[in-house]
Structure 1
Amino acid sequence: MSALMRYLYWLALLLPFHSIAVDYWQEHPLPAQWQQYLAASQQLLQQDEAAFATELGNSSAQLAVKHSEFGLTAITTAAEAEAVLSFQTPSGGWSKRTDMRMPRKPGQHYGSEPDYVPTFDNNATSTQLQWLADYYPHAPEPLRQQITLAIERGIALVIDAQYPNGGFAQSYPLRGDYHDAVTLNDNALYQLMQLLWQAAHDKRFAMLADNRKQAAKAAFYRAVDWLLANQVWVSGQLSVWGAQHHPLTGGPVAARKFEQASLVSSESAKLLQLMLQTVPDYPGVAASLAAGAHWLRQHQISGKTRYRDAQGYLSLADSPGSVIWSRFYDLQSGEPVFFDRDGKTYSDVSRLSLERQRGYGWYQSVAEEFLLAYDEYLTIHNE
């Protein structure tokens, strides 16, 4: 890569990932239940900000240390547990891309990115709660009490975050713009639904009060109802879901400019698999699974695999026996689509800028795992 191309590539990485500015809450008259939800979200955000301001006093805020994950893959020591606990916001969640190996200092931000404090994006909040639950049996008694309180607060936040119709935004308290869409992207909805199911049923969360477990169970089923109500119809046939859906109308919507409204393969497959594993007999789920599996089979790319050359250019290469899916599919035609940073849409990934070819997972194979599990399920239940 030439010096100029390297410069342009890194410059692009430093530019904001512009979204398509939207305020969902000004588009339609809001019923009282939604107005109450928004008021509660705003109040919680103000409480978080006030708590941090009190902690800060007259001092200057310190930056949180950025990390692509959290600096940890699990909690294995009391010191690590205490560090993770220190990053729980007053509202009960955690932030993404923040190093949590060392305890948060007084006056240090809870996260490295202000629009994600706290968030469910990039597995944040769900990951910390699962880590704490896993470590709980190994923790000394005083720390167990802190962990129990933290998990109670975290699960309460997730339950409070659920929209009145059962969906979840990317972050809560709400941050506005595309963050307020019901977010399947990067498996945000999947992670939250899995967490709720675990909180209600998994012995790892035995420390939760019974009423919290019941609330988590009810929230899980409301999310299932949201999925069944908003699976996208295309030409009279059920398909799958979009990466983001309008919180009120339920239709697929755009997020960042390289994430236009479209159907998604991987996130849809993960949610289908979760329903298959947990509630295959729930009313409406069988039809949803069958339609989703049919759509994924129709749209798989057979005999190909992704190939990236030394410069990062992306293409498909022959691979007999392999199957792969585009990340995004056009809402009407069902054909693979690829979006550049300027919002332009292409049917050929090679037409994207090199920065976007290198910086995004345009082809994925996650759906194969669901289809194998679904075939096995059908075989067992049709015997």
Structure 2
Amino acid sequence: MAGCLLQQVAADSYWADAELSDRWQQYLQQSAALLQQQQQDFRAELREAGLTQPVAAVRLKGFGLSAIESAEQLSAVLSYQSHSGGWSKGTDMRQPRQPGQWAGSEPDYIPTFDNGATSTQMRWLMAYFPKADATSQRQIRHSLNRALLFLLQAQYPHGGFPQSYPLRGSYHDAVTLNDHVMAELLTLLWDISESTLFSTEQQQQAREGFRRGVQFLVNAVVVLKGRPTVWAAQHHPLTLTPVAARKFEQASLVSTESAKLLALLLGKASDQPGVHCTLCYGALWLQQHQIKDKKWQRTATGSSLEPEKGRVLWARFYSLSDEKPVFFDRDGQTYSDVNQLSLERQQGYGWYQSEGKAFLKAWAKRPELQQQCAPSQQELGHATKAP
């Protein structure tokens, strides 16, 4: 069984040799206890099912569903909720989980927030609740209560979120902005804080979780050469510095996730301390790094930037040294041209994206905020039409 179950956090993780406050020590102890309990519960389930080894879950990109539309689908989704309260990623959830079956196709990712896991299932449950009968509604409330408790437990003391919880070591313990993990979870907390599906106390807890998450974002903005910029895809959970994840996701500034978070701050938190300055510098950074009148085109033999009037793009990643576009391959090497990558990586990753356009368009409609930006950002006070 030891080879199949989640392992304790590795000794060479972010936490090794760190001097931790009582609050952080308590967080890590809670994570370890939850992991241990999750393992014990699953072992008990295996014994009751008369199994000596877990049954594999069915791997599927996505979950096989786009919403819960029936009592049968509800039952299936609820069956995949982990012992600790969250859900897994990349798992077919159309058929109910059987006793002794993993709750995810990748056991090390049970549960996780990656690839929309947990946040997606919670939203499905919230959306289906009005259509459900009384018995199903009670099941949904119970599931959502467990999931919200899990979500609040997973949030780091400073407001960030790891990619997976309970903690499992390596880059999965980093505060994860990549693939919009932070944006999805903070938006979910905001929506829970206004949802009558939850008690007044739960709404307040969600609102406080949102507030702390926003404060984390303000504190974690990467400062280069004395000037705030945007964020990295992953941040060290203690120092908040940018860190690497997979070999083709080295430490760097990230445009798409930053733009999504800036839009969230603009729409829901512009009055919180430090947010206005973050918005000013973030807008300036996106304006300065946009690639105009170009589109990224992928073919069977490679990829290229081609002329197209009116299009606006950003590279996915920007160097921490000179803020120029950078690209990474599976060998962990850094390249300055996307065409230097292997064909597999050119075709298998979104190296150029356009998320920043939506934020700049929304920012252009807030002149009262632009006018309050620092004199060094005067160009924001005379915002041109969004690209």
Q: Fold-level match, TM-score > 0.5?
A: yes
After TM superposition, give the deviation of residue 78 of structure 1 in Å: 1.1
Counterpart-to-counterpart distance in 1, 2:370 and 2:31: 44
After TM superposition, give the deviation of residue 347 of structure 1 in Å: 0.3
Pairing partner for 2:353 from 343, 352, 364: 364
Cross-structure match for 1:62: 55
Is structure 2 residue 317 aligned with structure 1 residue 328?
Answer: yes
Counterpart-to-counterpart distance in 2, 1:285 and 1:32: 28
Counterpart-to-counterpart distance in 2, 1:122 and 1:41: 21
Counterpart-to-counterpart distance in 1, 2:249 and 2:88: 22
Counterpart-to-counterpart distance in 2, 1:307 and 1:261: 25
Pairing partner for 1:281 from 268, 271, 287: 271
Cross-structure match for 2:257: 267
Cross-structure match for 1:254: 244
Contact 1:246 1:253 in 2 (8 A): yes
Counterpart-to-counterpart distance in 1, 2:62 and 2:17: 36
Of 121-130 and 48-57, deviating more is: 48-57
After TM superposition, give the deviation of residue 379 of structure 1 in Å: 6.7
Cross-structure match for 2:161: 168
Q: Superposed, which structure 2 residues align to 1:289-304 within 5 Å?
A: 289-304=279-294
Contact 1:156 1:212 in 2 (8 A): no
Cross-structure match for 1:375: 364
Counterpart-to-counterpart distance in 2, 1:342 and 1:22: 22
Q: 1:157 to 1:308 in 2, by over 3 A?
A: same
Percent identity over paired residues: 53
Pairing partner for 1:349 from 329, 338, 347: 338
Q: 1:236 to 1:112 in 2, by over 3 A?
A: same
Q: 1:340 to 1:194 in 2, by over 3 A?
A: same
Counterpart-to-counterpart distance in 1, 2:231 and 2:369: 27
The amino acid that maps onto 1:339 is F
- Per the normalisation by structure 2, the TM-score is 0.90
Deviation readout 1:91-128 (Å, 9 max, x if unpaired) = 11000000001111111100001221000000100000
The amino acid that maps onto 2:153 is D
Contact 2:276 2:369 in 1 (8 A): no
Higher relative contact order (CA 8 A, sep 6+): 1
Contact 2:162 2:175 in 1 (8 A): yes
1:25 match: secondary structure: coil
Cross-structure match for 1:16: none
Pairing partner for 1:30 from 9, 17, 20: 20
Q: 1:90 to 1:297 in 2, by over 3 A?
A: same
Contact 1:93 1:119 in 2 (8 A): yes
5+ residue gaps, structure 2? 1-10, 372-380, 382-387
After TM superposition, give the deviation of residue 47 of structure 1 in Å: 1.1
Cross-structure match for 1:186: 179
After TM superposition, give the deviation of residue 381 of structure 1 in Å: 8.4
Counterpart-to-counterpart distance in 2, 1:251 and 1:216: 26
Contact 2:280 2:370 in 1 (8 A): no
Counterpart-to-counterpart distance in 2, 1:283 and 1:165: 15
Counterpart-to-counterpart distance in 2, 1:169 and 1:61: 26
Pairing partner for 1:319 from 288, 301, 308: 308
Contact 1:244 1:253 in 2 (8 A): yes
Contact 1:66 1:98 in 2 (8 A): yes
1:322 match: secondary structure: strand
Deviation readout 1:154-183 (Å, 9 max, x if unpaired) = 111111111111111001111110000000
Is structure 2 residue 223 aligned with structure 1 residue 225?
Answer: no
Cross-structure match for 1:145: 138
Counterpart-to-counterpart distance in 1, 2:173 and 2:115: 15
Counterpart-to-counterpart distance in 2, 1:27 and 1:134: 45
Counterpart-to-counterpart distance in 2, 1:302 and 1:118: 40
| Alignment RMSD (CA, Å) | 1.5
Deviation readout 1:170-214 (Å, 9 max, x if unpaired) = 01111110000000000011111011001102xxx3121211111
Q: 1:360 to 1:133 in 2, by over 3 A?
A: same
After TM superposition, give the deviation of residue 377 of structure 1 in Å: 2.3
Is structure 2 residue 68 aligned with structure 1 residue 75?
Answer: yes
Counterpart-to-counterpart distance in 2, 1:71 and 1:314: 31
Counterpart-to-counterpart distance in 2, 1:338 and 1:237: 23
Count of residues paired in the alignment: 359
After TM superposition, give the deviation of residue 378 of structure 1 in Å: 2.4
Cross-structure match for 2:4: none
The amino acid that maps onto 1:345 is T
The amino acid that maps onto 1:66 is R
Deviation readout 1:247-304 (Å, 9 max, x if unpaired) = 0000000111111100000000111100111011222111111110100111111111
2:365 match: secondary structure: helix
Cross-structure match for 1:18: none
Contact 2:328 2:334 in 1 (8 A): yes
Contact 1:22 1:178 in 2 (8 A): no
After TM superposition, give the deviation of residue 27 of structure 1 in Å: 4.2
Structure 1 residue runs of 4 or more that deviate by more than 4 Å after TM superposition: 379-383
Counterpart-to-counterpart distance in 2, 1:381 and 1:246: 31
Counterpart-to-counterpart distance in 2, 1:22 and 1:98: 29
Is structure 2 residue 32 aligned with structure 1 residue 42?
Answer: yes
1:317 match: secondary structure: strand
Contact 1:83 1:102 in 2 (8 A): yes
